[in-house]
Structure 1
Amino acid sequence: MLRITLAQLNYTVGDIDGNVQRMCAAAHQARQEQADMVVFSELSLCGYYPSDLLDEPAFMQRVQDGLEALRRASADYPELHWVVGAPTRAEGPGKPLHNSLLVLHGGTLRLQYDKQLLPTYNIFDERRHFEPGPDVAKVLRIGQMQVGFLICEDGWNDSGADYATNPFRRIADAAPDLVVSINASPSHLGKREQRHQVFSAAASRHALALLYVNQVGGQDQIVFDGASFAVEPEHGVVLEAPRFQESVTTLAFDMGRFSSVSGRALPAVPAQGLATMEFYRQQIVLGLRDYARRCGFTRAVVGSSGGIDSALTLALAAQALGADNVVGVTMPSGFSSAGSVDDSVALCENLGIRLHQHPIGELVDGYAEGFARSFGQPLEGLPLENLQARIRGTILMEYSNAFGHLLLTTGNKSEVSVGYCTLYGDTNGGLGLLGDLYKTEVFALSRHINATAGRELIPQAIIAKPPSAELAPDQKDEDSLPPYAVLDEILKLLIEGTHLSGLEYASARQFVDTLVQQPDGPALVDKVQRMIHRSEYKRRQAPPILRVRPRAFGTGRQMPIAAYYP
């Protein structure tokens, strides 16, 4: 029998000493539970993904120092094998580094396996820094078991569709008793089920038991959900670690079967994970909490317009950071409705958040008078609308600078997609919580938060009111945009396309196909497509957003700004 500890930890990129401490604490627990092996995730030593820190000699020296610290620590636990992820030096031509899995035991390096498949799609760019490892299987005898090893992407190509090399088939040829895969697999809608499907199919095809260890926590725009799991070839996924939290779990493996260390059967793993809105909530809350913590913020500020986007942002921020650490600022102008202030007051009272009022009417008038005096014409129309947004953005940045709060921007994916936002105005901020949620999803998540709380955290008046920027008299979003129920389906198809799940893609495809059969349908789709293209320069300058869907704006979408789009 083999006892294995899955160490699903929340690493910080670049915090080598802190990551080593977390790993040593997990190893100490593993020893107490009489484990033979403790498994950490991909690039656990330095955190995933260090990007061009890998090019800095001082950083790589700290990595070497960290590896030495882990080697010394492993000597203190001579009965325990440590499976660690770290960048290592590569020999010969090509990139200078490997993305490696190292097995430490009793103060020595017993095995090194270098990742073969280096993804360069979506948010990944590993080939920028790493050289692929050789096409060989690495197997190590631990106790009475032969254990084979893979790193993340190496296990995703068993169908042979994406790469010429198939490391899973190579490890299967070595016929280990167990395959251990270390991973840094970012979370998005449907990703958990996708992992289960891919690795269960590979395990079944090759009659191999498999242990999949993932990291957890937010890092810049992406969030790792943990959800490490074990697979038996006949039964599929038989164990799953918690999602969105650290977990150190020891289990037993014997005769091709996983069980608890006491020998009891493991609880059944549901095929479906969290409901969509609860998934969004947990992913965004963890993403904000870790982003703020890693960037040195304990408090956040949000411009409260009385609309649905700022209301949801405030509600999520309160859950992530605590209501006492979140501040709202309402900034009415001459075009603001009475409800914009009244609804903000009700919202912040419900959430327990402090709300400040900073009217901007006099500032707008001063700018307008100066503009007319200097340029000989009145300030009106779009320039006047954008001025109000920029004044509000400036006030919020003043507050951030003065009191040390992280400014959260409130734009949603529907608006950001088509440029329905103002540069240096409502796009100001350090992080966007809703930038990967379509407007229809913003409403759905708001209703979900109320339902989960069992009361109106977000007032129904805010949820029910027609969306409006309130930058002109009687302005409504639908004056400039198609209804969001229509716009969002077009955007899903144009932006995410086949990256969507099968059901969501089929639904969006059918909707747009029906739309283009209508007289104005083709022109509407073309208009939306042009708006997306023309707004690339705004998205490039916007703050980072938390990724929750398969294809988000940010590093995962690389489009030129200055280009011809027919």
Structure 2
Amino acid sequence: MRTFRLAMAQMNATVGDFDGNAERIITSIHEARALGADLIAFPELALPGYPPEDLLLKPQFIRENRERLGLIAAECRDIAAVVGYIDADTDIYNAAALIHDGEIVGSYRKMYLPNYGVFDEDRYFAAGSECPVYTVNGSPVGVNICEDIWYATGPAVVQRAAGAELIVNINGSPFHAGKRAFREKMLATRASDNGLFVAYVNLVGGQDELVFDGASIIFGPDGEVVARAGQFEEQILIADLEVEAVFRSRLRDPRTRKERATDLAHIGKPIQPLDETAEVYAALTLGTRDYVRKCGFGKVLIALSGGIDSTLVAAVAADALGSDNVVGLAMPSRYSSEGSILDAMALTDNLGIELWTLPIEDAFNAYLGTLAPKFEGTEPGVAEETCSPAYGAT
């Protein structure tokens, strides 16, 4: 039985950090090779980071991306790798390089460029027009990128007709609540409709306002899950695919000829997806951690009113950054109740974070004096109360 050992590197890339991203990629290649993988796949634009946005308008950014790809290729020996990068000729492309034995042997250019929601790819990239299939260790492999797999008559159909037994789909797919289940239903349909393996590898981490959940997954030709990576964490997923079963199945099915396997082994323990509440909390934690880390900050200050909003923010920050890197800030004024102050103190004790207490009555009184001519004839009320940091309006 011909098997194919596939590795998928669910990595946390940083936009513009070519050295850091390339180091992560090279390290993962070496790890996958040591585990006997035939191919390791990395996410969409893993080398430059996703989404690079207006950095794509800088020629130097494109050149650096290509230079680092050459360094990665030199380290890729006795294993194949699919690496997301920016390809260029007279235009630029969202592309996936196939690397083997020190050389870039092929490049797939993304065909369907999303231009809705958080995506703006049609502004930056030209669309590809070819659907190559590569032979890796005796097995035909089709490579495509993110949006390409969402179309029922997209590149996967062309690659299946050209003999692909495995589709490697690399992604930069942002998280939102409920998306994972919808995405997996689509991927299962692509796998079963085309009678092949579909391997989906996704970015993980926060980048500005976006959070990528990972949740990389492999489906078999029957539409069933073969292997699943964790959510919101870096991981290399390894699976052995009995790709010869795909070939045997096609010999018995004449329909594929007119259009011109199913036993699987998972290395490691099966992983169950998070429930919806846990997904959202994990996304908040990861997004906070990566925003602080990637922007070069060390600690954060959080104004604590004793209410549920600042309590949740403080809990997320402590889980994301560690208690030593979070400082709570209480700013009592004439509107602060004893309960709110005690609640803020209990919160910092429970989370193990430092508490600064800075009374703001003098500063608040100075503001009221400045505004007194405009407030003449009125009684203090909601306006004064909601301007006080005791209510979290900082």
Q: Deviations for 1:31-86, whole angstroms, at most 9, x for unmatched residues?
A: 11222211111101111111101111222221122122122222xx1x21111110
> In structure 1, what is the Cα distance between the partners aligned to 2:217 and 2:262?
11
Per the TM alignment, residue 381 of structure 1 is displaced from its structure 2 partner at its CA by 4.9
Per the TM alignment, residue 385 of structure 1 is displaced from its structure 2 partner at its CA by 4.2
1:39 corresponds to which residue?
41
Q: Which of residues 117, 128, 150 is equivalent to 2:123?
A: 128
Distance 1:16 1:29, change over 3 A: same
The 8 Å contact of residues 239 and 266 in structure 2, kept in 1 or not, is answered as no
Between 1:110-119 and 1:1-10, the stretch displaced more is 1-10
Matched, 1:178 2:166: yes
1:152 corresponds to which residue?
146
Q: Which of residues 57, 62, 72 is equivalent to 2:74?
A: 72
User: Which amino acid in structure 2 is aligned with residue 170 of structure 1?
Assistant: V
The 8 Å contact of residues 101 and 151 in structure 1, kept in 2 or not, is answered as yes
Tell me, which stretches of 5 or more residues in structure 1 are unaligned?
161-165, 394-409, 411-424, 427-566
Q: State the TM-score, normalized to the length of structure 1.
A: 0.63
> In structure 2, what is the Cα distance between the partners aligned to 1:85 and 1:184?
10
Per the TM alignment, residue 376 of structure 1 is displaced from its structure 2 partner at its CA by 8.0
2:229 corresponds to which residue?
241
The 8 Å contact of residues 84 and 101 in structure 1, kept in 2 or not, is answered as yes
Matched, 1:208 2:227: no
1:532 corresponds to which residue?
none
Per the TM alignment, residue 382 of structure 1 is displaced from its structure 2 partner at its CA by 5.8
Bigger RCO of structures 1 and 2 (CA < 8 A, at least 6 apart): 2
2:207 corresponds to which residue?
219
> In structure 2, what is the Cα distance between the partners aligned to 1:58 and 1:378?
63
1:108 corresponds to which residue?
103
2:184 corresponds to which residue?
196
> In structure 2, what is the Cα distance between the partners aligned to 1:283 and 1:153?
22
Per the TM alignment, residue 25 of structure 1 is displaced from its structure 2 partner at its CA by 0.5
> In structure 2, what is the Cα distance between the partners aligned to 1:73 and 1:289?
30
2:53 corresponds to which residue?
51
The 8 Å contact of residues 259 and 265 in structure 1, kept in 2 or not, is answered as no
> In structure 1, what is the Cα distance between the partners aligned to 2:37 and 2:120?
35
> In structure 2, what is the Cα distance between the partners aligned to 1:137 and 1:113?
7
Per the TM alignment, residue 217 of structure 1 is displaced from its structure 2 partner at its CA by 1.1
User: Which amino acid in structure 2 is aligned with residue 249 of structure 1?
Assistant: L
> In structure 1, what is the Cα distance between the partners aligned to 2:383 and 2:223?
62
2:134 corresponds to which residue?
140
The 8 Å contact of residues 368 and 378 in structure 1, kept in 2 or not, is answered as no
3-state secondary structure, aligned to 1:280: helix
Distance 1:259 1:356, change over 3 A: farther
Distance 1:266 1:319, change over 3 A: closer
3-state secondary structure, aligned to 1:11: coil
Per the TM alignment, residue 269 of structure 1 is displaced from its structure 2 partner at its CA by 6.0
3-state secondary structure, aligned to 2:388: helix
Q: What is the root-mean-square deviation in Å for CA atoms of aligned residues?
A: 2.2
User: Which amino acid in structure 2 is aligned with residue 305 of structure 1?
Assistant: S
The 8 Å contact of residues 42 and 101 in structure 1, kept in 2 or not, is answered as yes
> In structure 2, what is the Cα distance between the partners aligned to 1:248 and 1:339?
48
Per the TM alignment, residue 251 of structure 1 is displaced from its structure 2 partner at its CA by 2.2
3-state secondary structure, aligned to 1:187: coil
2:284 corresponds to which residue?
284
Distance 1:64 1:384, change over 3 A: same
The 8 Å contact of residues 19 and 45 in structure 1, kept in 2 or not, is answered as yes
Per the TM alignment, residue 199 of structure 1 is displaced from its structure 2 partner at its CA by 0.7
Tell me, which stretches of 5 or more residues in structure 2 are unaligned?
247-260
Matched, 1:99 2:98: no
User: Which amino acid in structure 1 is aligned with residue 94 of structure 2?
Assistant: N
User: Which amino acid in structure 1 is aligned with residue 31 of structure 2?
Assistant: Q
> In structure 1, what is the Cα distance between the partners aligned to 2:30 and 2:340?
54
3-state secondary structure, aligned to 2:190: helix
Q: How many equivalent pairs are there? A: 375
Q: Deviations for 1:307-329, whole angstroms, at most 9, x for unmatched residues?
A: 00011111111111111221111
> In structure 1, what is the Cα distance between the partners aligned to 2:102 and 2:375?
78
The 8 Å contact of residues 196 and 237 in structure 1, kept in 2 or not, is answered as no
The 8 Å contact of residues 217 and 225 in structure 2, kept in 1 or not, is answered as yes
3-state secondary structure, aligned to 1:14: coil
> In structure 1, what is the Cα distance between the partners aligned to 2:99 and 2:191?
26
Q: Deviations for 1:506-562, whole angstroms, at most 9, x for unmatched residues?
A: xxxxxxxxxxxxxxxxxxxxxxxxxxxxxxxxxxxxxxxxxxxxxxxxxxxxxxxxx
Distance 1:259 1:184, change over 3 A: farther
3-state secondary structure, aligned to 1:189: coil
Distance 1:175 1:377, change over 3 A: same
The 8 Å contact of residues 187 and 224 in structure 1, kept in 2 or not, is answered as yes
Q: Which of residues 24, 27, 30 is equivalent to 2:26?
A: 24
User: Which amino acid in structure 2 is aligned with residue 140 of structure 1?
Assistant: Y
Point out the structure with the larger strand share. 2
The 8 Å contact of residues 37 and 81 in structure 1, kept in 2 or not, is answered as yes
Distance 1:203 1:235, change over 3 A: closer
The 8 Å contact of residues 222 and 262 in structure 2, kept in 1 or not, is answered as no
User: Which amino acid in structure 2 is aligned with residue 113 of structure 1?
Assistant: Y
> In structure 1, what is the Cα distance between the partners aligned to 2:331 and 2:211?
32
3-state secondary structure, aligned to 1:146: strand
1:328 corresponds to which residue?
328
Per the TM alignment, residue 370 of structure 1 is displaced from its structure 2 partner at its CA by 2.2
Query: Structure 1 segments of 4 or more deviating over 6 A?
Result: none
User: Which amino acid in structure 1 is aligned with residue 275 of structure 2?
Assistant: A
Q: Deviations for 1:101-128, whole angstroms, at most 9, x for unmatched residues?
A: 1101122221111001111111111111
Between 1:9-18 and 1:54-63, the stretch displaced more is 54-63
Per the TM alignment, residue 343 of structure 1 is displaced from its structure 2 partner at its CA by 1.0
2:254 corresponds to which residue?
none
Per the TM alignment, residue 276 of structure 1 is displaced from its structure 2 partner at its CA by 2.1
3-state secondary structure, aligned to 1:333: coil
> In structure 2, what is the Cα distance between the partners aligned to 1:156 and 1:368?
58
Per the TM alignment, residue 194 of structure 1 is displaced from its structure 2 partner at its CA by 1.5
Per the TM alignment, residue 265 of structure 1 is displaced from its structure 2 partner at its CA by 7.9
The 8 Å contact of residues 228 and 237 in structure 2, kept in 1 or not, is answered as no
Per the TM alignment, residue 155 of structure 1 is displaced from its structure 2 partner at its CA by 0.3
Per the TM alignment, residue 259 of structure 1 is displaced from its structure 2 partner at its CA by 7.2
2:299 corresponds to which residue?
299
**Amino-acid identity (%):** 37
1:377 corresponds to which residue?
376
Q: Deviations for 1:257-276, whole angstroms, at most 9, x for unmatched residues?
A: 4777xx57876565xx3122
